[in-house]
């Protein structure tokens, strides 16, 4: 993924430069508001290159803020709400407590099927699938599985569906969706989300189903297995019912 190859602040500088180029070029052919919209769309799309919430916000907001400071265009007051609206479309407020857009490394799950074998055609869910990196890694591990993804941001959901046409990708809240049909649920969340994910998995997943987490363990629960992914990251495997550590 490009985020792993471009050191900060290079992603921001590239996004801002491209947004300015689009704005300057389009101003000659379309009204200023339309040029602003196109440049902000580019900046918002490029915000996925940021590795954290503040970096993504900085990438998306950099162009309109610099435009406002320079006074390079005469725009109606409401036009400055455009970049905020675009950012909220990609990162809805109710998803901010979940993990930012962390891509799953391509071969992070390559040994998963050895530790967690699944029957042919098993349904596997990537909860919070983003741009589909986790789905691609799961496909590498389980080529015969029925892969599904849930993503709350509809622009990311559309992009993921286009990048992973072999998977069923839906726009839904991963915390409200029913996990019971799945033999495995995969997450790349954040430490603060893992207790909540474990409680949902325990309540909804059938005995023998798996909860798989890249990087972050479930507190107070013994994993059924661990894998060391390429690059040193740990994949935590939990089979239902969970084996909680006695106090």
84: in domain: yes
Q: Is 234 found in the same domain as 173?
A: yes
Q: Is 215 found in the same domain as 159?
A: yes
106: in domain: no
Q: Is 22 found in the same domain as 82?
A: yes
Q: Is 64 found in the same domain as 6?
A: yes
Q: Is 87 found in the same domain as 14?
A: yes
- Is it true that the peptide bond before 241 is cis, omega within 30 degrees of 0? yes
Question: What's 170's domain CATH number?
Answer: 3.40.50.150
197: in domain: yes
Looking up tokens 């490029």, which residue turns up? 46
pLDDT at 168: 97
pLDDT at 2: 41
pLDDT at 70: 65
What's the total number of domains in the chain? Answer: 2
6: in domain: yes
Q: How many CB atoms lie within 10 A of CB 234?
A: 15
pLDDT at 52: 65
103: in domain: no
Buried residues in 181-207 as b, exposed as e (16+ CB within 10 A): ebbbbbbbbeeebbeebbebbbebbee
In total, the chain counts a number of residues equal to: 247
Q: Is 119 found in the same domain as 236?
A: yes
Q: Report the candidate in 117, 123, 103 with the shortest Cα–Cα distance to residue 177.
A: 123
> From residue 7, how far is each of 47, 55, 83 by CA, in Å?
14, 12, 24
Each residue's pLDDT, cut to its tens digit, for the chain (247 residues) gives 444 456 767 787 888 888 888 888 888 888 877 887 888 888 777 777 776 666 777 777 777 777 776 665 555 555 555 655 655 555 554 454 444 556 788 889 989 999 999 999 999 999 999 889 999 999 999 999 999 999 988 878 888 999 999 999 999 999 999 999 999 999 998 888 899 999 999 999 999 999 999 999 999 999 999 999 877 889 999 999 999 876 5
Looking up tokens 């099927």, which residue turns up? 113
User: End of a domain among 60, 91, 122?
Assistant: 91
pLDDT at 93: 46
Q: Is 132 found in the same domain as 79?
A: no
Q: Is 138 found in the same domain as 73?
A: no
Q: Is 124 found in the same domain as 233?
A: yes
Q: Is 81 found in the same domain as 119?
A: no
Cα(219)–Cα(150) distance, rounded to whole angstroms? 24
Q: Is 129 found in the same domain as 230?
A: yes
* pTM (2 d.p.): 0.66
224: in domain: yes
**Per-residue H/E/C for the chain:** CHHHCCCCCHHHHHHHHHHHHHHHHHCCCCCHHHHHHHHHHHHHHHHHHCCCHHHHHHHHHHHHHHHHHHCCCCCCHHHHHHHHHHHHHHCCHHHCCCCCCCCCCCCCCCCHHHHCCCCCCCEEEEECCCCCHHHHHHHHHCCCCEEEEEECCHHHHHHHHHHCCCCEEEECCCCCCCCCCCCEEEECCCHHHHHHHHHHHHHHCCCCCEEEEECCCCCCEECCEEEECCCCCEEEEEECCCEECCC
Q: Which residues contact 122 (CB under 8 A, 6 or more apart)?
A: 142, 145, 146, 183, 184
If phi over 0 gives left and psi between -120 and 50 gives alpha, with beta otherwise, what is residue 98? beta
Burial class (CB in 10 A: 0-12, 13-18, 19+), 121: exposed
Range of the domain at 239: 112-244
Q: Is 116 found in the same domain as 79?
A: no
Q: What does the block give as tokens for 25? A: 């070029």
pLDDT at 40: 80
């Amino acid at each position: 993924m490009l985020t792993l190859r471009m050191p900060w602040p290079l992603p921001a500088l590239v996004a801002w430069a491209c947004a300015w180029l689009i704005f300057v070029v389009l101003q000659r052919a379309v009204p200023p508001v339309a040029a602003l919209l196109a440049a902000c769309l580019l900046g918002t799309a490029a915000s996925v290159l940021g590795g954290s919430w503040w970096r993504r916000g900085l990438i998306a907001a950099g162009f309109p803020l610099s435009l406002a400071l320079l006074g390079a265009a005469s725009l109606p007051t409401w036009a400055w709400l455009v970049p905020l609206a675009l950012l909220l479309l990609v990162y809805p407020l109710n998803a901010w407590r979940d993990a930012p857009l962390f891509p799953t490394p391509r071969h992070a799950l390559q040994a998963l099927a050895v530790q967690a074998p699944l029957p042919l055609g098993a349904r596997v869910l990537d909860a919070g699938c983003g741009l589909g990196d986790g789905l691609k890694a799961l496909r590498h591990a389980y080529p015969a599985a029925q892969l599904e993804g849930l993503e709350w941001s509809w622009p990311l959901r559309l992009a993921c569906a286009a990048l992973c046409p072999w998977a069923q990708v839906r726009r839904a809240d991963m915390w409200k969706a029913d996990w019971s049909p799945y033999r495995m649920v995969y997450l790349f969340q954040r430490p603060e989300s893992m207790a909540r994910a474990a409680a949902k998995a325990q309540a909804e997943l059938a005995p023998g189903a798996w909860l798989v987490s890249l990087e972050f363990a479930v507190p107070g629960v013994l994993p059924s297995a661990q894998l060391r992914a390429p690059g040193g990251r740990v994949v935590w495997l939990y089979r239902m019912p969970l084996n909680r550590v006695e106090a």
